[in-house]
Copies of this chain bind each other. A is one copy, B any other.
């Protein structure tokens, strides 16, 4: 046995949930599904706090809101843990085509972008179909130009394909002498909202301003370029790095009845981008996980282990909250019974995958039996628990992937349009019910799920 550190190893003799436990889990599923608490929590966060970009005044307001909300909801323990990071501030942002067809564009600076000179910056555009095409281009095609990466997401599956253009495009362009970069937004909508998102400068490469335009504007600019005359763009961006900032992971715990030092970890990230109010990214994840745990507390059905809800600081600009959590809790990985974040919108959950030791798989199957009536499919045993918990999994934390349906997620993601009116109670209620069932069953399970170095070795990429 590689799991000697885990107190619950004693319980491995009983390897299935009892009939009564299965009934309780089914009751949670059905009762939580018609409970509007997640919807109400999200209404509160988006209305009373709104935008909460890491390092902004909204960040501090969100931390205060989260502590107060956990207390109001009656969590047994509420605390916060510091998370430090370099902060960045958006300023004004304007763009206009100055020739041959003058008209304004709607743009947004990418997170970490430097400013243009105070008088703005004007140059001809050079278009590339992708980051890869840019990387293959000769420098003399790029020098002195504003690079336009026109790589379109066809569906939410393309996120991983397109996002390197946002994160790495500026340095790639600067290496070839570009004076700025504008990208087609990483987003699936056809509305005139540019999508922001983080970018990074490589060390030793000139830092050039980086911005995104909406799909609508990218279509238009492409049409202009197709006419064959040089298309000249003026960018005027105010933005700046503003030094170090300390925010907090805010944590609420429902204490377990038998194994309080082991815990199921759920949560979302508390920060959002500044343009919208962070309803789907990731207020929804915070609300789903807070509501799931509160539902168990409220109904007096505490499981054996604790349920810990972590609202992570600054996911958007580099997973700072997740990294800080791992650093602070590295030694306690075996105490994590299972980890599952919610950070892909309002639900519903469509699939449940796991990352547990083999002995626990029959329990996972029983958990899925309870969730199947919610329309949830079974997945594999190589689950990814979510961005802020990804490093915990690498460190050996047993994980669950409760996949949220992302059909509208990349329409709204990182835009001003990420607002509460997009949330449908039936969708978020289903997700909160799923997380409640998962958290309760994992916390009640008669077997340790296997977190530890041995489990880490079984991870597939």
Contact = CB atoms under 8 A, between A and B. Distances in A.
A104 B220 contact: no
A46 B192 CA distance: 14
Contact of A101 (B48, B102, B416): B48
A78 interface: no
A276 interface: yes
B417 A223 contact: no
A216 interface: yes
Nearest to A215: B421
Nearest to A92: B92
A144 interface: no
Interface string A398-435: 00000000000000000111011110000000000000
Contacts of A220: 46-47, 50, 277, 419-421
B47 A101 contact: yes
A71 interface: no
B219 A421 contact: yes
A49 B97 CA distance: 11
- Count identical subunits in the complex: 2
A104 B56 CA distance: 13
A251 B25 CA distance: 73
Nearest to A101: B48
Contacts of A61: 102
Given A215-B421, A216-B421, A102 B192 contact: no
B51 A420 contact: no
Contact of A277 (B43, B47, B103, B215): B103
A394 interface: no
Interface in A21-48: 43, 46-48
A236 to B, nearest CB: 13
B50 A192 contact: no
B101 A50 contact: yes
A61 B97 CA distance: 15
Interface residues of A, number: 36
A106 B276 CA distance: 10
Contact of A416 (B192, B227, B276): B192
Contacts of A47: 101, 220, 223-224, 227
B101 A216 contact: no
Given A50-B103, A51-B104, A101-B49, A419 B57 contact: no
A458 interface: no
B417 A216 contact: yes
A358 interface: no
A298 interface: no
Given A47-B224, A101-B47, A190 B422 contact: yes
A58 interface: yes
A49 B224 CA distance: 11
Contacts of A49: 101, 103
Contact of A102 (B57, B216, B227): B57
A58 B103 CA distance: 8
Given A43-B223, A276-B192, A216 B103 contact: no
Contacts of A227: 47
Given A47-B223, A103-B51, A106-B416, A190 B277 contact: no
A152 to B, nearest CB: 11
Chain B CB within 10 Å, residue with most, of A51, A61, A103, A220: A103
A191 interface: yes
Nearest to A96: B50
30 contacts: A43-B223, A46-B220, A47-B101, A47-B223, A47-B224, A47-B227, A48-B101, A49-B101, A50-B101, A50-B103, A50-B104, A50-B220, A51-B104, A57-B102, A61-B102, A103-B277, A190-B422, A191-B417, A192-B193, A192-B415, A192-B416, A192-B419, A215-B421, A216-B417, A216-B419, A216-B421, A217-B419, A219-B419, A219-B420, A219-B421
